[in-house]
Amino acid sequence: MDPITSAIVLGIAGNFATDAVKAGYKALKDALTKKYGSESELVEAVNKLEQKPNSEARKATLQEEVESAKALDDSVIVQLAQQLLAKVKEQPGGQQVITQTINNVKYAATSGTANASISNIEEHGQPQA
């Protein structure tokens, strides 16, 4: 799941309803509304997910709309999403929920950015000549 969709899903979830998370979610939604308009399919997908936050179909629709609107190309929106994810991560259990949210995806993002680390690599077998 891309960072924008993940941030919106977690911001709506309510599990992390601290003032910082609420403010981060509002800032992200306001930025989407300002850029794409309150009647845009992207903002409508956010509003519909707010009504049924556990709907996998609505989460998938939101992700499709994020991709369709090319929201991942907007550095300000991506930064707001990453800031919201960081605020969620700071909460007790936040990192685990973020990892679970990203892993439980039926549709892959077509673009985005991330950091990865690889460790504990073991080589098995003999190299082929």
d(CA 47, CA 38): 10
The long-range contacts involving 57-65, CB below 8 angstroms and separated by at least 24 positions, are 59/1, 59/5, 59/9, 60/106, 60/107, 62/5, 62/8, 62/9, 63/1, 63/2, 63/5, 63/105, 63/107, 63/109, 64/107, 65/41
pLDDT at 105: 43
Per-residue pLDDT tens over the stretch 4-25 = 998 898 888 766 678 888 899 9
User: For the whole prediction, is pTM greater than 0.85?
Assistant: no
pLDDT in tens, 43-53: 999 999 999 99
Closest by CA position to 102, among listed 70, 72, 59? 59
Query: What is residue 112's predicted lDDT score, i.e. its pLDDT?
Result: 45
pLDDT the model gives residue 115? 56
Residues of the chain with pLDDT under 50: 104-112
